[in-house]
Amino acid sequence: MRALVSTMAFAAAVYAFARLWEAFRGAWEGRPTAPPVAFLGLLLLFLGSLGYLGFVIYAGDRAAGRVRRRIALFDRILDLRSRG
């Protein structure tokens, strides 16, 4: 199940990046293609999906003992999940 969700998050990040790039290029050329609210939504989707992917990769590396540099936010979330 985690692999499916991770694949969906990756697909969402790729989709959001493509639409963000298109909107940025349009704005640069003087013809905006996305309203500001849609642009903000795409930006949040992109950052959220990348954050999720980073968290999943970090959690897997931490479980395997391959973490060299700790990420405090991810460690707090993982510690909360292990307690509850």
Domain limits at 50? Answer: 2-83
Query: Which two structure tokens, joined as six digits, stand for 46?
Result: 């992109």
Our count of domains for the chain comes to 1
70: left (phi over 0), alpha (psi -120 to 50) or beta: beta
Cα separations (Å) of 14 from 18, 35, 47, 49, 75?
Answer: 6, 20, 11, 9, 26
pLDDT single digits (tens) 41-82: 999 999 999 999 999 999 999 999 999 999 999 999 999 998
- pTM above threshold 0.85: yes
Asked whether the predicted pLDDT for residue 13 surpasses 80, the reply is yes
